[in-house]
Structure 1
Amino acid sequence: MRVALLALALLAAWEATGWDRTVARWLGDAAGFPMRDAWLTSTLLHNGGRRLAWAALALSAWDAIRPWQAGPSRKERLYWLGVTVAGSMLVPGIKRLSDTSCPWDLAEFGGHTAYVPHWAYWGRDGGPGHCFPSGHAVAAFAFLSLYFLWRPYRPVLARWLLFGVVGLGLMFGWVQLARGAHFPSHTFWSAWLCWALCTAAAARQQHLHRCSPRSPIPVAHG
């Protein structure tokens, strides 16, 4: 919970700086974003990233039901698989309700929409919307659940999984920033939402453990 609160404070600080548009201007201008349809960003890292996420989800599902297991129980693996799926649905669900348009829709980047901060719920930018937070970044951040799954059993592995997921999520975020599909904060909020969801799921798991002493679950704090 402390990590989630600290990250939320940092997010608020980032929002206050207004650096979203500054960073976007490094990669785009009035003519648009040159890397929007580039093979590296669009085909390899965007479309390929989605396929990688589906493959990772399928592998997690297979790992949860396979008969031989060391470490977390099948019940725990299924529980955190459910959290992964929930995270992958939470962010796109919020995005679908959002009135915030993408950077490539803004007039300063060749579009026809005025900039309105995504936290300004009282105003609309007049564009197509549905661009906050980052749905592509959640293809990685949803797997933050792996850290919580393995933390009580193999802390070193859990930390490596955490670094890998965060690194991949930031790369996916950069891809969408380079394409003009998202601002940096869109990626940061996706990460925070997935982490907060995992934190809540871990608290619920510990509560269930206290209510069911016959099913011991190692508890690790961090």
Structure 2
Amino acid sequence: MRAHSRRFYLSHFGLTLLFAAILLGWYPQTQWDVAIASFYYDPALHAFPLKNNFFLSGVMHSGLRSALWFIPLALIGVLLWSRVTPELQIHRRRISWLLLGMACATLVVSVLKKMSIHACPWDLQMFGGYAPLLPLFADLPAGISPGRCFPGGHASGGFALFAFYFALRDDAPKLAYLSLVIAVLLGMAMGWTQMMRGAHFLSHNLWTMWWTWMVLLVLYIVFPPLAAKKENLEVPA
């Protein structure tokens, strides 16, 4: 485990915990989840008209999810190629870390989703479905099947690219921050796609962002993507 500055812990853990506190305390009072979902819901049809939209469903959901598999497959290819290419061998730990980080981040979100009692918007009574809208820590009412819809699984594919930020921040900070921006934009675009279809609330995607970031942050601390130099164990903030 590598030592880090106080500034690093304040900026990364401190802001992360503050974000969680906002999601837990302030955000539910805004009613933004229902307001945004209602914008895409047609009460006359009792349905979300964009649910089966070709671009949203076929391209932004199924297509983009499949396209993102290119990233780990490309990393595996580079990792295998590095066994016979000396110039790439110094990057083996970083590439392995990227693969591990993305896998862990998406797996945690997937497990949490499978354990969730919360239903998707299109399954809620207020949107023509069967399930009640439940607070975050509510108990599942008798006779209601668990919704398995929280947090947002699709958005985790984009937010998992936070791994590139952590993999690059120690020696390529400009690329790291570019990766951070791309991960946020892609994760939110993928998440909003599902919101337009009625598959998720905004809070589902914000919690996905929080979980993927936290998993990768802890992994970065426990098992850094770059080996620490003996003469300087502290990395920049």
Q: TM-score range by the shorter chain?
A: 0.7 to 0.9
Aligned to 2:27: 14
Q: 1:46 aligns with which of 61, 72, 81?
A: 61
Single out whichever of 23-32 and 147-156 deviates more from structure 2: 23-32
**Greater RCO, 1 or 2 (C-alpha within 8 Å, sep 6+):** 2
TM-score by length of 2: 0.83
Assess, with a 3 A threshold, how the Cα gap between structure 1 residues 37 and 217 changes in structure 2: closer, same or farther. Answer: farther
Which segments of structure 1 move beyond 6 Å, counting only runs of 4 or more?
none
Residue 10 (structure 1) shift: 2.8
Partner of 1:84: 102
Alignment of 1:1-222 (within 5 A): 1-12=13-24, 13-30=26-43, 31-67=46-82, 68=85, 69=87, 73-117=91-135, 119-124=136-141, 126-205=144-223, 213=230, 219-221=235-237
Tell me the percent identity: 30
Structure 1 residue 6: deviation in Å?
2.5
**Post-superposition offset of 1:154:** 1.1
Q: Secondary structure at the match of 2:185?
A: helix
Name structure 1 gaps, 5 residues minimum.
Answer: none
Instruction: Tell me the TM-score normalized by structure 1.
Output: 0.88
Asked if 1 retains the 8 angstrom alpha-carbon contact of 2:98 and 2:164, the reply is yes
Supply the distance in 2 between the matched residues of 1:187 and 1:61 (Cα, whole angstroms).
28
The 3 A distance-change label for structure 1 pair 193 and 123 is same
What is the DSSP-based 3-state SS (H/G/I as helix, E as strand, rest coil) of the residue aligned with 1:41?
helix
Q: 1:168 to 1:72 in 2, by over 3 A?
A: farther
Report how far residue 5 of structure 1 moved.
1.5
Structure with the greater alpha carbon radius of gyration: 2
Q: CA deviation at 1:62?
A: 2.5
Q: Deviations over 1:172-193 (max 9, x none)?
A: 1111000100000000001100
Question: How far apart are residue 128 of structure 1 and its match?
Answer: 4.8
- Kept in 1: contact 2:140–2:146 (CA 8 A): no
Shift of 1:124: 3.7
Does the aligned pair in 1 maintain the 2:170–2:235 contact within 8 Å?
yes
Task: Quote the Cα distance in structure 1 between the aligned partners of 2:141 and 2:109.
Answer: 20
CA RMSD of aligned residues (A): 2.4
CA shift, 1:107, in A, is 1.7
**For residue 110 of structure 1, what is the amino acid of its counterpart?**
G
Give the match's secondary structure for 1:137: helix
Letter in 2 for 1:121: A
Once residues 65 and 47 of structure 1 are traced to their aligned partners in structure 2, the CA distance between those partners, rounded to angstroms, is: 28
